[in-house]
Amino acid sequence: MNIKEILNDNDFIFKKKFGQNFLLDQNILNNIVSLADITKDTLVIEIGVGAGALTKKLSEVSGKVLGYEIDTTLKIPLSKILEEYKNVDIVFDDFLKRVVKDDIKKYNYNKLMVVANLPYYITTPIITKFIEENIDVEKIIVMVQNEVADRFSSKPGSKSYNSLTIFLNYYFDIKKAFVVPRSVFYPKPNVDSAVVVFSKKKTKLYLNDKDHFFKLVKNAFTQKRKTLKNNLSNYDLNKINEVLKKHDKNITLRAENITIEEFAEISNELTKQ
Protein backbone atom coordinates (compact mmCIF):
# COMPACT_ATOMS: atom_id res chain seq x y z
CA MET A 1 0.00 0.00 0.00
CA ASN A 2 1.24 3.49 -0.71
CA ILE A 3 1.10 6.40 1.76
CA LYS A 4 -2.25 7.78 0.52
CA GLU A 5 -3.82 4.32 0.74
CA ILE A 6 -2.53 3.79 4.27
CA LEU A 7 -3.93 7.17 5.38
CA ASN A 8 -7.32 6.38 3.81
CA ASP A 9 -7.34 2.89 5.20
CA ASN A 10 -6.88 4.32 8.70
CA ASP A 11 -9.58 7.00 8.21
CA PHE A 12 -7.01 9.73 8.69
CA ILE A 13 -8.51 13.24 8.75
CA PHE A 14 -6.26 16.14 7.69
CA LYS A 15 -6.07 18.87 10.31
CA LYS A 16 -5.70 22.40 9.03
CA LYS A 17 -4.87 23.70 12.51
CA PHE A 18 -1.65 21.66 12.44
CA GLY A 19 -0.62 22.93 9.00
CA GLN A 20 -0.98 19.47 7.46
CA ASN A 21 -0.06 19.70 3.79
CA PHE A 22 1.88 16.60 2.95
CA LEU A 23 4.55 16.37 0.29
CA LEU A 24 4.65 13.12 -1.59
CA ASP A 25 6.51 14.14 -4.77
CA GLN A 26 9.57 11.88 -4.89
CA ASN A 27 11.70 14.24 -7.00
CA ILE A 28 11.19 17.19 -4.70
CA LEU A 29 11.81 15.03 -1.64
CA ASN A 30 15.08 13.81 -3.20
CA ASN A 31 16.09 17.39 -4.03
CA ILE A 32 15.51 18.48 -0.43
CA VAL A 33 17.53 15.62 0.99
CA SER A 34 20.40 16.21 -1.43
CA LEU A 35 20.79 19.79 -0.16
CA ALA A 36 21.97 18.41 3.17
CA ASP A 37 25.22 16.48 3.04
CA ILE A 38 23.85 13.81 5.33
CA THR A 39 26.05 10.83 6.16
CA LYS A 40 25.70 7.78 8.35
CA ASP A 41 27.09 9.68 11.33
CA THR A 42 24.45 12.40 11.04
CA LEU A 43 21.55 12.79 13.42
CA VAL A 44 18.65 14.40 11.58
CA ILE A 45 15.83 16.16 13.39
CA GLU A 46 12.56 16.37 11.48
CA ILE A 47 9.79 18.56 12.86
CA GLY A 48 6.36 17.44 11.67
CA VAL A 49 6.77 13.88 10.41
CA GLY A 50 3.27 13.88 8.88
CA ALA A 51 2.83 10.76 6.79
CA GLY A 52 6.56 10.05 6.81
CA ALA A 53 7.48 10.52 3.13
CA LEU A 54 10.45 12.77 3.91
CA THR A 55 11.31 10.67 6.96
CA LYS A 56 11.84 7.60 4.77
CA LYS A 57 14.34 9.43 2.57
CA LEU A 58 16.16 10.83 5.59
CA SER A 59 16.31 7.42 7.20
CA GLU A 60 17.99 5.93 4.12
CA VAL A 61 20.96 8.33 4.20
CA SER A 62 21.44 9.21 7.87
CA GLY A 63 22.46 7.39 11.04
CA LYS A 64 19.34 8.33 12.93
CA VAL A 65 16.19 10.37 12.38
CA LEU A 66 14.54 11.94 15.39
CA GLY A 67 11.08 13.04 14.31
CA TYR A 68 8.48 15.08 16.14
CA GLU A 69 4.78 14.91 15.40
CA ILE A 70 1.99 16.61 17.35
CA ASP A 71 -0.88 14.63 15.82
CA THR A 72 -1.27 11.34 17.68
CA THR A 73 -3.80 10.06 15.12
CA LEU A 74 -0.77 9.55 12.86
CA LYS A 75 0.71 6.99 15.26
CA ILE A 76 -0.88 3.92 13.67
CA PRO A 77 -0.49 4.94 10.01
CA LEU A 78 3.14 5.92 10.68
CA SER A 79 3.90 2.61 12.36
CA LYS A 80 2.87 0.94 9.09
CA ILE A 81 4.53 3.43 6.74
CA LEU A 82 7.82 3.33 8.63
CA GLU A 83 7.71 -0.33 9.64
CA GLU A 84 10.97 -1.20 7.91
CA TYR A 85 12.81 1.97 8.86
CA LYS A 86 14.55 0.98 12.06
CA ASN A 87 16.68 4.08 12.60
CA VAL A 88 13.69 6.39 13.12
CA ASP A 89 12.47 7.52 16.55
CA ILE A 90 9.29 9.56 16.71
CA VAL A 91 8.27 11.72 19.64
CA PHE A 92 4.53 12.39 19.52
CA ASP A 93 4.46 15.79 21.16
CA ASP A 94 4.47 19.51 20.47
CA PHE A 95 8.01 20.26 19.33
CA LEU A 96 7.88 23.72 20.90
CA LYS A 97 7.38 22.17 24.33
CA ARG A 98 10.41 19.88 24.13
CA VAL A 99 13.87 20.44 25.56
CA VAL A 100 15.78 19.39 22.46
CA LYS A 101 19.12 19.07 24.27
CA ASP A 102 17.59 16.44 26.55
CA ASP A 103 15.99 14.61 23.63
CA ILE A 104 19.24 14.30 21.69
CA LYS A 105 21.70 13.47 24.44
CA LYS A 106 21.20 9.70 24.16
CA TYR A 107 22.41 9.66 20.53
CA ASN A 108 25.95 9.33 19.20
CA TYR A 109 26.52 11.47 16.15
CA ASN A 110 29.04 13.66 14.46
CA LYS A 111 26.79 16.21 12.80
CA LEU A 112 23.35 17.44 13.69
CA MET A 113 21.02 18.60 10.92
CA VAL A 114 17.42 19.69 10.76
CA VAL A 115 15.43 18.78 7.67
CA ALA A 116 11.70 19.43 7.62
CA ASN A 117 8.63 20.50 5.76
CA LEU A 118 7.52 22.82 8.54
CA PRO A 119 4.06 23.51 9.89
CA TYR A 120 3.84 27.11 8.63
CA TYR A 121 1.95 28.59 11.57
CA ILE A 122 5.06 28.14 13.76
CA THR A 123 7.95 28.49 11.30
CA THR A 124 9.81 31.24 13.15
CA PRO A 125 9.43 29.83 16.69
CA ILE A 126 10.77 26.49 15.46
CA ILE A 127 13.89 28.02 13.89
CA THR A 128 14.58 30.43 16.74
CA LYS A 129 14.21 27.59 19.25
CA PHE A 130 17.48 26.09 17.99
CA ILE A 131 19.21 29.44 18.54
CA GLU A 132 17.64 30.11 21.93
CA GLU A 133 18.44 26.61 23.20
CA ASN A 134 21.97 27.00 21.88
CA ILE A 135 21.88 23.78 19.90
CA ASP A 136 24.83 23.23 17.62
CA VAL A 137 23.12 22.56 14.28
CA GLU A 138 25.24 22.32 11.14
CA LYS A 139 22.41 23.00 8.69
CA ILE A 140 18.71 23.64 8.82
CA ILE A 141 16.94 22.78 5.57
CA VAL A 142 13.30 23.67 5.71
CA MET A 143 10.30 24.09 3.50
CA VAL A 144 8.52 27.31 4.42
CA GLN A 145 6.03 29.70 2.84
CA ASN A 146 7.62 31.35 -0.19
CA GLU A 147 7.33 34.88 1.17
CA VAL A 148 8.82 33.81 4.50
CA ALA A 149 11.74 32.32 2.56
CA ASP A 150 12.23 35.74 0.95
CA ARG A 151 12.25 37.43 4.34
CA PHE A 152 14.80 35.03 5.80
CA SER A 153 17.17 35.44 2.86
CA SER A 154 16.50 39.09 2.03
CA LYS A 155 19.18 41.73 1.64
CA PRO A 156 19.25 45.38 2.79
CA GLY A 157 17.08 47.65 0.66
CA SER A 158 14.42 45.03 0.10
CA LYS A 159 10.95 45.36 1.61
CA SER A 160 11.08 42.10 3.49
CA TYR A 161 14.41 42.87 5.26
CA ASN A 162 13.70 43.35 8.97
CA SER A 163 15.01 42.66 12.48
CA LEU A 164 14.20 38.94 12.17
CA THR A 165 16.30 38.76 8.98
CA ILE A 166 19.21 40.31 10.86
CA PHE A 167 18.74 38.09 13.92
CA LEU A 168 18.80 34.90 11.83
CA ASN A 169 21.59 36.10 9.53
CA TYR A 170 23.81 36.74 12.53
CA TYR A 171 23.84 33.00 13.21
CA PHE A 172 23.44 31.49 9.74
CA ASP A 173 24.22 32.00 6.07
CA ILE A 174 20.77 31.78 4.56
CA LYS A 175 19.91 30.84 0.98
CA LYS A 176 16.63 30.22 -0.73
CA ALA A 177 17.24 27.01 -2.69
CA PHE A 178 14.12 26.54 -4.83
CA VAL A 179 10.43 27.32 -5.03
CA VAL A 180 7.88 24.53 -4.70
CA PRO A 181 4.47 25.11 -6.26
CA ARG A 182 1.36 24.60 -4.11
CA SER A 183 0.06 21.99 -6.56
CA VAL A 184 2.45 19.28 -5.34
CA PHE A 185 1.08 19.20 -1.78
CA TYR A 186 -1.76 17.05 -0.54
CA PRO A 187 -4.11 18.69 0.26
CA LYS A 188 -3.20 21.77 -1.79
CA PRO A 189 -2.42 24.85 0.38
CA ASN A 190 -3.24 28.48 -0.57
CA VAL A 191 0.39 29.54 -0.93
CA ASP A 192 3.54 28.49 -2.73
CA SER A 193 6.49 27.26 -0.73
CA ALA A 194 10.25 27.37 -0.92
CA VAL A 195 13.12 25.42 0.53
CA VAL A 196 15.60 27.45 2.55
CA VAL A 197 19.06 26.37 3.66
CA PHE A 198 20.52 27.78 6.89
CA SER A 199 24.24 26.98 7.22
CA LYS A 200 25.93 27.66 10.54
CA LYS A 201 28.23 30.70 10.23
CA LYS A 202 31.88 29.73 10.60
CA THR A 203 32.79 33.13 12.04
CA LYS A 204 30.24 35.42 13.55
CA LEU A 205 30.41 39.20 13.49
CA TYR A 206 32.37 40.64 16.40
CA LEU A 207 30.04 42.25 18.96
CA ASN A 208 30.95 43.93 22.27
CA ASP A 209 27.48 43.22 23.59
CA LYS A 210 25.15 40.88 21.74
CA ASP A 211 22.05 41.93 23.71
CA HIS A 212 22.72 45.59 22.96
CA PHE A 213 23.09 44.78 19.26
CA PHE A 214 19.81 42.87 18.99
CA LYS A 215 17.94 45.52 20.99
CA LEU A 216 19.36 48.28 18.78
CA VAL A 217 18.27 46.41 15.65
CA LYS A 218 14.79 45.78 17.06
CA ASN A 219 14.41 49.44 18.00
CA ALA A 220 15.66 50.59 14.60
CA PHE A 221 12.82 48.69 12.93
CA THR A 222 10.09 49.63 15.45
CA GLN A 223 8.20 51.80 12.97
CA LYS A 224 9.11 50.62 9.50
CA ARG A 225 8.28 53.87 7.69
CA LYS A 226 10.27 56.02 10.11
CA THR A 227 13.94 56.96 9.92
CA LEU A 228 16.73 55.85 12.21
CA LYS A 229 16.66 59.34 13.71
CA ASN A 230 13.09 58.74 14.88
CA ASN A 231 13.31 55.12 15.88
CA LEU A 232 16.65 55.49 17.69
CA SER A 233 16.01 58.82 19.42
CA ASN A 234 16.94 57.26 22.79
CA TYR A 235 20.46 56.48 21.55
CA ASP A 236 23.43 58.78 20.95
CA LEU A 237 22.48 59.92 17.44
CA ASN A 238 25.75 61.79 16.91
CA LYS A 239 27.77 58.64 17.40
CA ILE A 240 25.42 56.70 15.12
CA ASN A 241 25.74 59.34 12.44
CA GLU A 242 29.54 59.29 12.70
CA VAL A 243 29.62 55.55 12.01
CA LEU A 244 27.14 55.82 9.14
CA LYS A 245 29.10 58.67 7.52
CA LYS A 246 32.00 56.27 6.97
CA HIS A 247 29.63 54.28 4.75
CA ASP A 248 28.17 57.34 2.99
CA LYS A 249 24.96 56.95 4.96
CA ASN A 250 23.23 58.95 7.68
CA ILE A 251 20.45 58.82 10.27
CA THR A 252 17.77 60.07 7.90
CA LEU A 253 17.75 56.63 6.28
CA ARG A 254 15.46 53.81 7.31
CA ALA A 255 16.68 50.68 9.08
CA GLU A 256 16.00 48.62 5.94
CA ASN A 257 18.97 50.38 4.29
CA ILE A 258 21.50 49.43 6.95
CA THR A 259 23.53 46.24 6.66
CA ILE A 260 24.06 43.82 9.51
CA GLU A 261 27.78 44.78 9.56
CA GLU A 262 26.88 48.47 9.88
CA PHE A 263 24.50 47.74 12.76
CA ALA A 264 27.29 45.79 14.44
CA GLU A 265 29.68 48.70 14.00
CA ILE A 266 27.12 51.11 15.47
CA SER A 267 26.43 48.84 18.44
CA ASN A 268 30.16 48.37 19.08
CA GLU A 269 30.73 52.13 18.94
CA LEU A 270 27.89 52.78 21.39
CA THR A 271 29.18 50.16 23.82
CA LYS A 272 32.87 51.05 23.57
CA GLN A 273 34.52 51.10 27.02
Q: Which residues bind ligand SAM (CB under 6 A)?
A: 18-23, 47-51, 53-54, 68-71, 94-96, 117, 119, 122
Distance CA 151, CA 148 (A): 5
The distance of closest approach from Cβ of residue 70 to ligand SAM in the complex, given in angstroms and rounded to an integer, is 4
Task: State whether residue 201 is helix, strand or coil.
Answer: coil
Q: Please identify, using beta-carbon distances, which residue of 176 and 229 lies nearer to ligand SAM.
A: 176
The distance of closest approach from Cβ of residue 179 to ligand SAM in the complex, given in angstroms and rounded to an integer, is 16
Q: Please identify, using beta-carbon distances, which residue of 18 and 214 lies nearer to ligand SAM.
A: 18
The distance of closest approach from Cβ of residue 93 to ligand SAM in the complex, given in angstroms and rounded to an integer, is 7
The distance of closest approach from Cβ of residue 69 to ligand SAM in the complex, given in angstroms and rounded to an integer, is 5
Torsional class of 19: left (φ above 0), alpha (ψ -120 to 50), beta (otherwise)? left
Do the bridges between strand 172-180 and strand 88-91 make them parallel or antiparallel, or are there none, so unpaired?
unpaired
Task: State whether residue 227 is helix, strand or coil.
Answer: coil
Cβ-Cβ contacts under 8 Å for 101 (sequence gap 6 or more): 133, 135
Q: Please identify, using beta-carbon distances, which residue of 49 and 195 lies nearer to ligand SAM.
A: 49
Do the bridges between strand 22-23 and strand 185-186 make them parallel or antiparallel, or are there none, so unpaired?
antiparallel
The distance of closest approach from Cβ of residue 94 to ligand SAM in the complex, given in angstroms and rounded to an integer, is 4
Q: Please identify, using beta-carbon distances, which residue of 54 and 258 lies nearer to ligand SAM.
A: 54
Q: What DSSP designation does 204 have?
A: P
Q: Please identify, using beta-carbon distances, which residue of 24 and 205 lies nearer to ligand SAM.
A: 24
